[in-house]
Homo-oligomer: A and B are copies of this chain.
């Protein structure tokens, strides 16, 4: 049966893949993006454009006020973005306190409000080492809360939690998705930098899949 599903959609590759997965399984996605004071709006612009092209209902919610509470990450502050591969110490700089509980709690509220039984988010295995709130035990514990927090139970679904970004891309390429509609780079210039950790990981995922990234890069 067709049902509504809230999809937390950053505009990046993983949540783009999930958004399309939800469409292909016949559900009606309600894409949800958060403006939490990212240093650039590029990913959100890409999110909006992808939803427009896919004909998906999309909301961008401005929660940048909470930076007054949880500031201190290089994703939102003016700390230099770490270059090169995801290395433990530099990646720890990108941990935002309680980030996923905050985003999921709002997504779950939205789901209750529109009568959607499911909330999708793109946790993947590559994040487990650094981000405690991307691990299966976190999602399981959140689902225990979501079963009792409202009159309607909501289920948080993380279809790729046991997969790497490489495997997510494999799945998306099989689905025929156009990743030129997604933005990954930490820097917000006209073209992706190709040098930051996010770009390098993205490029590696394409290489591992024997595919070419359709996105334009600086170099």
Contact = CB atoms under 8 A, between A and B. Distances in A.
Interface in A26-82: 32, 59, 61-63, 65-66, 68-72
Interface residues of A, number: 42
A109 B66 contact: yes
A61 B65 contact: yes
Interface stretch (A144-152, A184-192, A198-206): A144-152
B112 A98 contact: yes
Given A137-B148, A145-B138, A145-B141, A101 B97 contact: no
A161 B101 CA distance: 22
A153 to B, nearest CB: 10
Interface in A84-105: 95-102, 104-105
Copies assembled = 2
Contact of A113 (B72, B106, B133, B137): B72
A66 to B, nearest CB: 6
Given A132-B148, A148-B132, A106 B62 contact: no
B102 A98 contact: no
A19 interface: no
Nearest to A104: B105
A142 interface: yes
A108 interface: yes
A70 B113 contact: yes
B61 A66 contact: yes
A179 interface: no
B132 A141 contact: no
A77 to B, nearest CB: 12
A137 B142 CA distance: 13
Interface of A: 32, 59, 61-63, 65-66, 68-72, 95-102, 104-106, 108-110, 112-113, 132-133, 135, 137-138, 141-142, 144-146, 148-151
12 contacts: A65-B65, A69-B113, A70-B113, A95-B151, A96-B109, A97-B113, A98-B106, A105-B105, A133-B150, A138-B145, A141-B149, A142-B145
